[in-house]
Amino acid sequence: AELDTLDILVLGVILLGTFAYLTKGTLWAKQKDPYANAAYLNGNAAKAGKTRNFVEKMEESGKNCIIFYGSQTGTAEDYASRLAKEGKSRFGLETMVADLEEYDFDAMDTLPSDKIAFFVMATYGEGEPTDNAVEFYEFINGDDVAFSQGGEDAPLDNFHYVAFGLGNNTYEHYNSMVRDVDRLLTKYGAHRIGNAGEGDDGAGTMEEDFLAWKEPMWAALAAHMGLEEREAVYEPVFGITVREGLTPQSPEVYLGEPNKMHLEGAQKGPFNAHNPYIAPIAESYELFKVKDRNCIHLEIDISGSTLSYTTGDHIAIWPTNAGDEVDRFLRITGLTDKREQVISVKALEPTAKVPFPTPTTYDAIVRYHLEIGAPVSRQFVSTLAAFAPNEEIKTEMTKLGSDKDYFHEKTGSQLLNIARLLEHVGNGETWDKIPFSAFIEGLTKLQPRYYSISSSSHVQPKKISVTAVVESSMVVGRQDPFRGVATNYLLALKQKQNGDPEPSPFGLTYELHGPRNKYDGIHVPVHVRHSNFKLPSDPAKPIIMIGPGTGVAPFRGFIQERAQQAREGINVGRTILFFGCRKSTEDFMYESEFEEYKKALGDKFELVTAFSRESSKKVYVQHRLKERSAEISDLLSQKAFFYVCGDAANMAREVNTVLAQIIAEGRGVSESKAEEIVKNMRAANQYQEDVW
Ligand code: FAD
């Protein structure tokens, strides 16, 4: 029989492995790993020799469909992969997924009319593009856009596209990114196929909005391109190869290290979303006085790194999945016995990217790289039906995947994660027929979580404070509560550092020492993200801050900074903080610290509190704000800066409304005029939000 290339490679690896074993690995270490994925070699996508012209790239790789994503938290990227997969399996499209950041767009006008481009665009914060979409957006939204073939009236007349946006209706600029891109492409003569879809995270309907949009879109695209639908058969995007010659102890095996530098034990900047700094936690403690809720304060030491921050920036924490969820996942997928097996993962087609470095182990992939805790999507349930342990379960999975109401009735309201869903539907049977590739494709990669830095860079430039409330919520129909991934990990770190009597929260066994004990001595992987949420450059300007709950985080930094400036004899303007929580005796965080700041700032500083559970009527920060109408109106006329931080869904919106009322009354103008004034304040950065 003929050996195919994969066989030869595998054989080669076995031979090399044996050789390495015999030479005690001394030569092996210098061999170039034929399976290593280039993207992780330097902590960044390998750029060398790669074209930034996507039309060329499509040509080279024989693609007729490119799916661009602008993604911040991974959802848009995930949707892009799903569309690529579906386009291929249902319609035979030759699809590729593309990070907007990796291409230039001046050659857009050369895309032949028989090809198609998708844009899956998340809107971030105040209607901004996601980090990876900034360049594309600046290009297409620029005043003098120049396409490669010059400027007729409709330079993009050949360009056909599909668009979907991910937004949140609680923000003012709802889905502005997809709306803008759609408008601009149309302006240059491009033709949209199907509707520009909009998913709403605010209403919690993102997934269903996406599913509802894509069916008519596929129909329109099939009609436009003359595609014929075929029965979708699952084709893996990634090939898994067992690396017989390697063990978890082999030095080239990734056990959760994010890239090659980390594997080799060298931490080198720049530290960013591809390359975290493993930072020591200098100190950690509990901020709440109650037993059943936790809020963690951390001091993260960045002195050993090139990281820097300014007051108001965000820090990203790279979490590790909880041990019991990792175990559950491996158990239900039949991988428990293979958890330490070394495997390489290779993209079976040139434009797909393996989302983590290999060779690695199943354990490391599940623990460090896949978002196994998130609620499972209905579409993924549909994909997995084919691999059910028996016909009965397969029928049930197919029904769940295709019937929205049934899905929500049976599982949706419990927000089951993947392993819990498989347990639930399969009555505990093992799902060992699912190709592992399906999980890599179907689950988002584990995302860093962002936190508003709660310290001042003026006061402590090399130590970053974090204020994180631990997510734990009861879910209807479930015995145990849902526990947030990152915050319970932080809680476990805090408990270990302080030698708390119950070191693992709620029985969740985290691997706190990290891959090869690299996080031991209490470390956490982080990077910093710069923000536009900033104090006025003139410290004499008054500021009004609205920060209930953990929304107080950046304001602790602001006040720490102003208190220090006051001690240095600098003239500091009026500084008012509206803080709210349940009870003064339970979750009033930083109470004694604020007293210290008061000593330094005197009358310049005022803390206005709203305790929602101390009287029969619930009092929130917006009520307190209203009570101070006259003073607020007066401060605003002195050009006070107005800041809101915390809950985007309700609080920020109500504060906005109250502020408009205050302005309307104070200046004797109509409410609609007042709303316009608030809009202008936002545009001028006099009103700044840091909400999530
Ligand atoms: P996750 O696991 O991410 O879950 C988050 C939420 O999703 C849960 O509360 C739950 O409602 C829902 N959920 C997810 N999966 C399931 C499931 N399977 N079942 C049921 N429900 C589910 N937070 C702070 O505490 N302090 C800050 O200063 C702060 N600043 C931020 C600044 C920015 C710019 C942003 C974007 C966010 C900020 N956050 C802050 C929020 C923070 O990033 C995290 O989202 C938060 O800590 C929860 O993370 P987690 O991993 O613990 O929860």
Helix (H, G, I), strand (E, B) or coil at 684: coil
CB of 301 closer than 6 angstroms to any ligand 1 atom: no
Model confidence at 584, in pLDDT bands (50, 70, 90)? very high
User: Which residue's CA is the nearest one to ligand 1's atom 5?
Assistant: 484
Model confidence at 46, in pLDDT bands (50, 70, 90)? very low
CB of 451 closer than 6 angstroms to any ligand 1 atom: yes
Task: For residue range 116-150, list pLDDT tens digits in order.
Answer: 999 999 999 778 999 999 999 999 999 888 899 87
Q: Averaged over 465-479, what is the pLDDT?
A: 90
Q: Averaged over 613-624, what is the pLDDT?
A: 94
Tell me which of 14-18, 62-66, 406-410, 452-456 is least confident: 14-18
H or E, element range at 356: none
DSSP category for residue 369: I
Report whether pLDDT(69) > 70: yes
Give the model's pLDDT for residue 229.
94
User: In the block, which residue shows the tokens 């803080």?
Assistant: 579
Report whether pLDDT(81) > 60: yes
Give the model's pLDDT for residue 96.
96
Its CATH architecture, for the domain 63-225, is 3-Layer(aba) Sandwich (3.40)
Ligand 1 atom closest to residue 553's alpha carbon, by position in its atom list: 28
CATH no. of 543-691: 3.40.50.80
- Selection from 395, 406, 423, 254 nearest residue 329 by Cα: 423
CA dihedral 45, 48, 51, 54 (to 10 degrees): 0
Give the model's pLDDT for residue 22.
39
CA distances (Å), origin 684, targets 129, 256, 559, 634, 678: 19, 44, 22, 18, 10
Q: How far apart are CA 508 and CA 322, in angstroms?
A: 6
Count CB atoms within 10 A of the CB of residue 392.
Answer: 11
Q: Is 520 a catalytic residue?
A: no
Each domain of the chain, given as residue ranges in start order, spans: 63-225, 279-321+448-529, 543-691
Task: Note whether 418 and 328 are within 8 A (CB).
Answer: no
- Cα four-point dihedral sign 396, 397, 403, 407: positive
Q: Which of 452, 454, 465, 472 is catalytic?
A: 452
Give the model's pLDDT for residue 504.
65
Q: Averaged over 500-508, what is the pLDDT?
A: 73
Q: How far apart are CA 325 and CA 331, in angstroms?
A: 10
User: Which residue's CA is the nearest one to ligand 1's atom 1?
Assistant: 484
Higher-confidence position of 47 and 187: 187
Give the model's pLDDT for residue 37.
53
CB of 692 closer than 6 angstroms to any ligand 1 atom: yes
Q: Does domain 279-321+448-529 have CATH number 3.30.1360.120?
A: no
60 CA from centroid of ligand 1 (Å): 41
User: Which residue's CA is the nearest one to ligand 1's atom 50?
Assistant: 484
Give the model's pLDDT for residue 480.
83
505 CA from centroid of ligand 1 (Å): 17
Ligand 1 atom closest to residue 487's alpha carbon, by position in its atom list: 52
Q: Is 303 a catalytic residue?
A: no
CB of 468 closer than 6 angstroms to any ligand 1 atom: yes
3-class SS string, 416-479? CEHHHHHHHHCCCCCCCCCCHHHHHHHCCECCCEEEECCCCCCCCCCEEEEEEECCEECCCCCC
Task: For residue range 399-421, list pLDDT tens digits in order.
Answer: 999 999 999 988 867 889 999 99
Q: Is 473 a catalytic residue?
A: no
- Selection from 503, 459, 502, 510 nearest residue 485 by Cα: 510
Q: Where are the alpha helices (DSSP H) in 286-346?
A: 323-332
470 CA from centroid of ligand 1 (Å): 9
User: Which residue's CA is the nearest one to ligand 1's atom 9?
Assistant: 471
CB of 417 closer than 6 angstroms to any ligand 1 atom: yes
Q: What percent of the chain has pLDDT over 70?
A: 92
419 CA from centroid of ligand 1 (Å): 20
Give the model's pLDDT for residue 3.
45
User: Which residue's CA is the nearest one to ligand 1's atom 53?
Assistant: 484
Q: Tokens standing for 621?
A: 């920060």
Report whether pLDDT(160) > 60: yes
Report whether pLDDT(24) > 70: no
Q: How far apart are CA 622 and CA 322, in angstroms?
A: 37
Task: For residue range 506-540, list pLDDT tens digits in order.
Answer: 677 899 999 999 998 899 999 999 999 999 999 99
Task: Note whether 582 and 611 are within 8 A (CB).
Answer: yes
Give the model's pLDDT for residue 209.
96
Task: For residue range 361-371, list pLDDT tens digits in order.
Answer: 999 999 999 99
Q: How far apart are CA 174 and CA 167, in angstroms?
A: 6
Q: Which of 65, 431, 645, 647 is catalytic?
A: 645
CB of 322 closer than 6 angstroms to any ligand 1 atom: no
- Selection from 263, 264, 287, 267 nearest residue 277 by Cα: 267
Report whether pLDDT(19) > 90: no
Task: Note whether 51 and 57 are within 8 A (CB).
Answer: yes
Task: For residue range 217-272, list pLDDT tens digits in order.
Answer: 999 999 999 999 998 888 899 999 999 999 999 999 999 999 999 999 988 999 99
ipTM score of the complex? 0.97
Report whether pLDDT(43) > 70: no
CA distances (Å), origin 301, targets 169, 380, 413, 438, 529: 37, 40, 40, 39, 16
484 CA from centroid of ligand 1 (Å): 6
Model confidence at 6, in pLDDT bands (50, 70, 90)? very low
Task: Note whether 189 and 153 are within 8 A (CB).
Answer: yes
Report whether pLDDT(16) > 90: no
Task: For residue range 625-661, list pLDDT tens digits in order.
Answer: 999 999 999 999 999 999 999 998 899 999 999 999 9
3-state DSSP percent of the chain in helix, strand and coil, to 5 = 40, 20, 40
Give the model's pLDDT for residue 680.
95
468 CA from centroid of ligand 1 (Å): 9
CB of 217 closer than 6 angstroms to any ligand 1 atom: no
Q: Do domains 63-225 and 543-691 have the same CATH topology?
A: yes
Amino acid at 373: G
Ligand 1 atom closest to residue 453's alpha carbon, by position in its atom list: 28
CB of 489 closer than 6 angstroms to any ligand 1 atom: no
Strands (DSSP E) along 269-417, which ranges? 277-286, 295-301, 314-317, 342-347, 360-361
420 CA from centroid of ligand 1 (Å): 20
Model confidence at 12, in pLDDT bands (50, 70, 90)? very low
Ligand 1 mutation target, pool 317, 372, 452, 556, most atoms within 8 A of CB: 452
264 CA from centroid of ligand 1 (Å): 32
Give the model's pLDDT for residue 236.
94
Cis geometry, peptide bond prior to residue 270 (ω within 30 degrees of 0) = yes
658 phi/psi in degrees, rounded to 5: -65, -40
Ligand 1 mutation target, pool 311, 471, 472, 688, most atoms within 8 A of CB: 471
Q: Tokens standing for 127?
A: 């209607």
Report whether pLDDT(7) > 70: no
Ligand 1 mutation target, pool 450, 472, 528, most atoms within 8 A of CB: 450
Give the model's pLDDT for residue 457.
98
- Selection from 50, 11, 16 nearest residue 31 by Cα: 16
Model confidence at 469, in pLDDT bands (50, 70, 90)? very high
CA of residue 593 relative to chain centroid, distance:
32
Q: Is 382 a catalytic residue?
A: no
Model confidence at 49, in pLDDT bands (50, 70, 90)? low
Ligand 1 atom closest to residue 489's alpha carbon, by position in its atom list: 52
Give the model's pLDDT for residue 400.
96
506 CA from centroid of ligand 1 (Å): 18
CB of 311 closer than 6 angstroms to any ligand 1 atom: no
Helix (H, G, I), strand (E, B) or coil at 585: coil
DSSP category for residue 391: H
User: Which residue's CA is the nearest one to ligand 1's atom 7?
Assistant: 484
H or E, element range at 49: none
Model confidence at 151, in pLDDT bands (50, 70, 90)? low
DSSP category for residue 527: E
CB of 464 closer than 6 angstroms to any ligand 1 atom: no
Q: Averaged over 105-119, what is the pLDDT?
A: 97
Ligand 1 mutation target, pool 451, 494, 688, most atoms within 8 A of CB: 451
User: Which residue's CA is the nearest one to ligand 1's atom 10?
Assistant: 484
Give the model's pLDDT for residue 39.
53
Q: How far apart are CA 512 and CA 109, in angstroms?
A: 51
Question: Please, what is the average pLDDT of the chain?
Answer: 91
471 CA from centroid of ligand 1 (Å): 7
Helix (H, G, I), strand (E, B) or coil at 234: coil
**Which residues, in sequence order, are bridge partners of residue 613?**
none
Q: Which long-range contacts (CB under 8 A, 24 or more apart) does 302-306 make?
A: 302/277, 302/462, 302/463, 302/464, 302/526, 302/528, 303/462, 303/463, 304/279, 304/280, 305/267, 305/269, 305/271, 305/277, 305/279, 306/269, 306/270, 306/271
553 CA from centroid of ligand 1 (Å): 15
